[in-house]
Structure 1
Amino acid sequence: MVRGLVFDLDGVLVHTDELHYRAWKALAGRLGLPFTREQGDRCRGVSRMGSLEILLEGSNRSYTEREKLRMAEEKNDCYRAQLQELTPGDVPERTAETLRELRRRGYRLGLASSSKNAGVILTRTGLDALLDRVVDGNQITRSKPDPEVFLRAAQLLELPPEDCAGVDDALAGVESARTAGMIAAAIGPAALAGAGDWNLECLARLLDLCPPLEGGRDL
Structure 2
Amino acid sequence: MQQLTFKPKAFLFDLNGTMINDMEYHTMAWHSIMNDDLGADLSYDSVKKEMYGKNHEVLERVFGKDKFSAEEIERLSIDKEKRYQAGYFPHLALIDGLDHFLERAKQANILMAIGSAAIPFNIDFVVDGLNIRHYLDAIVSADDVKISKPDAETFIKASQLLNINPKDCVVFEDAPKGVESAGHAGMKCIVLTTTHTIEEFDDYPNVLDFITDYNAPILNTLF
Partner of 2:25: 19
Q: Given residue 174 of structure 1, which amino acid in structure 2 is its aligned partner? A: V
What is the Cα deviation at residue 72 of structure 1? 2.8
* Superposition pairs of residues 26-175 of structure 1, within 5 angstroms: 26-28=32-34, 29-56=36-63, 63-66=67-70, 67-82=72-87, 85=90, 87=92, 90-116=93-119, 117-175=122-180
How much is the aligned-residue C-alpha RMSD, in angstroms? 2.3
What is the Cα deviation at residue 36 of structure 1? 2.3
Secondary structure of 1:138's aligned partner? helix
- Please tell me whether the aligned partners of residues 134 and 153 of structure 1 are also in contact (alpha carbons under 8 angstroms): yes
How many corresponding residue pairs?
Answer: 205
Q: Given residue 180 of structure 2, which amino acid in structure 1 is its aligned partner? A: E
Partner of 2:3: none
Secondary structure of 2:139's aligned partner? strand
- Please tell me whether the aligned partners of residues 152 and 182 of structure 2 are also in contact (alpha carbons under 8 angstroms): yes
CA separation of 1:187 and 1:84: change in aligned 2, threshold 3 A:
closer
CA separation of 1:192 and 1:5: change in aligned 2, threshold 3 A:
farther
Over residues 161-182 of structure 1, what are the superposed CA-to-partner deviations in whole Å (9 max), with x where a residue is unaligned?
1110111111111011111111
- Please tell me whether the aligned partners of residues 169 and 190 of structure 1 are also in contact (alpha carbons under 8 angstroms): no
* TM-score, normalisation: structure 1: 0.82
What is the Cα deviation at residue 185 of structure 1? 2.4
Partner of 1:6: 12
Q: Given residue 49 of structure 1, which amino acid in structure 2 is its aligned partner? A: H
What is the Cα deviation at residue 149 of structure 1? 0.9
Which moves more between the two structures, 186-195 or 171-180? 186-195
- Please tell me whether the aligned partners of residues 147 and 176 of structure 1 are also in contact (alpha carbons under 8 angstroms): yes
1:180 aligned onto 2:185 = yes
Q: Given residue 28 of structure 2, which amino acid in structure 1 is its aligned partner? A: R
Contiguous gaps of at least 5 residues in structure 2: 1-5
Q: Percent identical across equivalent pairs?
A: 23
Secondary structure of 1:204's aligned partner? coil
